[in-house]
Structure 1
Amino acid sequence: MQKLTNHAKNEGERRESQGSWDDAEEVESQSLSAEEARLWRQRHPVTSPWRIVAWQAVAGMLAAVLTGWIGLVSGWIDSGGEALSIAGSVLYGAGAVVLPAALLARVMSRPVARHAGAAGVSLLRFFVWELVKLALAVAMMAAAPWLVPGLSWLALVGGLVVAMKAHGVAAWFEMRRMSPKAPTAPKV
C-alpha cells in the first residue's frame, strides 16, 4: 500500500511542476517564403482520394473477373450464366464500397471557406458524409436481391471485402510512391 501512496504522491508533484495550459507561452507562427513552401510541399506530398477509390474499383473488377474465370476453368461453376451471376455478385459487392467512397471523395474534395471555424466545419462535414456513405452502402446491399439476378451473398461479401481491403493496399502503395527515394551508395 505504501508503494501505491508514494506513486500517487509523485504523480501529483509531477503534475504541479508542469503547470497548466493557461500558463504556457504562446508560440509565434512564422509565414513561409514561397521557396520554403514549395520545398515543404515537395517533402510532404498529398495523395488524392480519387487514387484510393480507383484502386478499390480496379481490385473489385479484378476480383469479379478472376472469380468468374477460375469458376469456369476449374469446373466449380457449371455454366456461363452462373459464372456471370457470381461475377456480377462480386462486382456489385465491390460497387457497394466504391460508389459511396466516390461520393465521399467528391464531397470532401470541394474547398471549404477559410474562416475561424473552418476546421470544425470540415470535421462535421466529414462525419455527416461518412454516415451518408455508410447508409448508402447498407442501402445498396439491402437492394441487392432485387438488382442482381442470381445473387450469391457469399460472392457479394467477397467483393465487399476485396474492395475494403484494397484501401489499405492502395494506401501502402501510395506511401511508397510518395516517399523520397533514399540515395543509394555507389557499388564498389
Structure 2
Amino acid sequence: MKTDALGTEAEAEDPDFKPLAAQEAQEWRSRHPAVSVWRIVGSQAGVGVLVALSAWLLTGQVQVAWSAGYGALAVVIPAALFARGMARKRASAGAAMAGLFGWELVKIVLTVAMLAAAPRLVPGLSWLALLVGMVVTMKTYWIALLARPGVRRTD
C-alpha cells in the first residue's frame, strides 16, 4: 500500500472517501439517533425477569426460576456498573480508552465472582437455567441495537 506525503492510509484504500460537512453530519445524526445505554441495561433487566418467569412457568420449579434470574443478574449488574463508569467524561481519547478497558475488566471480574458465588447464594442451583438466563440477557444488546429507530430505513 502506497501513500503520498499528504495522503493517509484510509484515503489510499478508498479514493472516493469524502468527509461529511457539518450540515451533512447533523442530518446523519438526526437519522441515526444514539441509543441510551441505560435503556439497554433496563431492557436487559426486563428480559431477565421474563426469562425467570418463563423458567418458572415451564418447569414449575422455583429453584429453576431463581437460577435463571441470578444468571440474568450476573449480566445486568456488571453492565450497569460498566455503564456508570463509562458515563464519566474523560479528558482525552487515551483516558477514554483506558477507562473502557478498565471498566470492562471490572465487569468481567464481577461476573466471574457472581458465578463463583452462585452455588452459595442460590439454593438448588440449576446451572443450565443460570446459563440460559445469562445468554438470553446478553443477547438483549443485539435486539436493542436492531430495534432502535432508524436502523431499517433506507434513505
Distance in 1 between residues matched to 2:88 and 2:110, nearest whole Å = 20
- Gap runs ≥5 in structure 2: 9-18
Preserved contact between residue 43 and residue 180 of structure 1 (Cα < 8 Å): no
Q: What is aligned with 1:157?
A: 131
Preserved contact between residue 35 and residue 145 of structure 2 (Cα < 8 Å): no
Equivalence map 1:85-104=2 (5 Å):
85-104=63-82
- Taking a change above 3 Å as real, the CA distance of residues 169 and 25 of structure 1, as seen in their structure-2 partners, is closer
Equivalence map 1:83-162=2 (5 Å):
83-113=61-91, 118-162=92-136
Q: What is aligned with 1:10?
A: none
Q: What is aligned with 2:16?
A: none
Counterpart amino acid of 1:68? W
CA deviations on 1:54-102 (whole Å, 9 max, x unpaired) are: 1211111101101101223xxxxxxxxxx11110000000100110001
Q: TM-score, normalised by structure 1?
A: 0.68
2:102 match: secondary structure: helix
CA deviations on 1:1-33 (whole Å, 9 max, x unpaired) are: xxxxxxxxxxxxxx4xx334xx1169xx9994x
Distance in 2 between residues matched to 1:38 and 1:19, nearest whole Å = 31
What is the aligned residue count? 146
Preserved contact between residue 112 and residue 122 of structure 1 (Cα < 8 Å): yes
- Taking a change above 3 Å as real, the CA distance of residues 159 and 25 of structure 1, as seen in their structure-2 partners, is closer
Distance in 1 between residues matched to 2:62 and 2:124, nearest whole Å = 9
Counterpart amino acid of 2:73? G
Equivalence map 1:22-33=2 (5 Å):
23-24=5-6, 32=22
Q: What is aligned with 1:59?
A: 47
Counterpart amino acid of 1:143? A
Over the aligned positions, Cα root-mean-square deviation in angstroms equals: 2.5
Equivalence map 1:168-187=2 (5 Å):
168-174=142-148, 177-179=149-151
- Taking a change above 3 Å as real, the CA distance of residues 65 and 30 of structure 1, as seen in their structure-2 partners, is closer
| Identity score, percent | 46
Distance in 1 between residues matched to 2:113 and 2:151, nearest whole Å = 38
Distance in 2 between residues matched to 1:92 and 1:180, nearest whole Å = 34
Q: Deviation of residue 38 (structure 1)?
A: 5.2
Distance in 1 between residues matched to 2:112 and 2:81, nearest whole Å = 14
Q: TM-score, normalised by structure 2?
A: 0.81
2:139 match: secondary structure: helix
Instruction: Detail structure 1 runs of 4+ shifted over 2 Å in the superposition.
Output: 29-32, 35-41, 178-183
Q: Deviation of residue 181 (structure 1)?
A: 5.2
